[in-house]
């Protein structure tokens, strides 16, 4: 499978901070880039997604920044809350989603 | 809308035994995926179905894994014989079309092979 590389592996921020998670992809045929959020014991859930013809997308406190020339995209979480503590996965899409290895975010109160 | 149902939630088996997982996707979702998620890693695609036909099974270890989707609805994933390295969470997801329509994942089956 074509890889999607995600960093950092883990992240700790204080409440109100702005965690940033980065991803890089290899396959230029990918045409859809979602972020999924996963809580322990649950399946991943779609958080926000972007297509490569858009450089930025915001939904509530979550923002994706996309750099097509660099083949990179990132997730920013504004005003982070303890309830945002979860594992986040980026992905790239061909006929199916190819996921990164995940980032475990901990937001301390 | 009911979610993606998976069973069992947990399974512990000895190596070389066989095991089967079941998935019931969201009604009307034509596309069904099985992913393997090893602890601390992202989900890895095993197989993708469109209705009851296989779209991609290139990552499925076919010497021990098999999957079917009868009548384009429910699906089963089987492992026979299981190895220690098969210990993982097996996630089923469904979608109305391709990935850009958004996946809905089930809660998964956690398999432990001892």
- Alpha-carbon span A80 to A109, nearest angstrom: 10
Contacts within 8 Å (CB) and 24+ apart, B48-51: B48/A95, B48/A96, B49/B75
Which CATH architecture best describes the domain A4-108? Sandwich (2.60)
Determine whether the interchain pair B103/A41 forms a contact, defined as Cβ–Cβ distance below 8 Å: no
- Residues of chain A found within 8 Å of residue B61, distances taken between Cβ atoms: none
Please name the CATH architecture into which domain B5-113 falls. Answer: Sandwich (2.60)
Residue of B nearest to A91 (CA): B42
Q: How many CB atoms lie within 10 A of CB A23?
A: 25
The answer to whether the CB atoms of B45 and A46 lie below 8 A apart is: no
Rounded Cα gap, residues A5 and A30, in angstroms: 14
- pLDDT tens for each residue of A1-39: 568 999 999 999 999 999 999 999 999 999 999 999 999
As averages over each run of 10 residues, the pLDDT of chain B (114 residues) reads 91 98 95 96 95 93 95 94 98 89 93 98
């Amino acid at each position: 499978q074509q890889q999607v590389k995600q960093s950092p592996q883990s992240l700790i921020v204080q409440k109100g901070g702005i965690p940033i998670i980065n991803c890089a992809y290899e396959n230029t045929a990918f045409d859809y880039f979602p972020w999924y959020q996963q809580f322990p014991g649950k399946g991943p859930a779609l958080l926000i997604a972007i297509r490569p013809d858009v450089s930025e997308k915001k939904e509530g406190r979550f923002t994706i920044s996309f750099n097509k020339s660099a083949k990179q995209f990132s997730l920013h979480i504004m005003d982070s809350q303890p309830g945002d503590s979860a594992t986040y996965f980026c992905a790239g899409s061909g006929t199916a989603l190819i996921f990164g290895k995940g980032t475990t975010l901990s937001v301390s109160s | 809308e009911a979610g993606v149902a998976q069973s069992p939630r947990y399974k512990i088996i000895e190596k070389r035994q066989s095991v089967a997982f079941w998935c019931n996707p969201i009604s009307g979702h034509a596309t069904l995926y099985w992913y393997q998620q090893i602890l601390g890693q992202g989900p890895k695609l095993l197989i993708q179905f469109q209705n009851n036909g296989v779209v991609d099974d290139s990552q499925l270890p076919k010497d021990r894994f098999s999957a079917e989707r009868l009548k384009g609805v429910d699906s089963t994933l089987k492992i026979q014989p299981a190895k220690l390295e098969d210990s993982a969470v097996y996630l089923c997801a469904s979608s109305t079309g391709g990935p850009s329509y958004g996946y809905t994942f089930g809660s998964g089956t956690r398999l432990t092979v001892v």
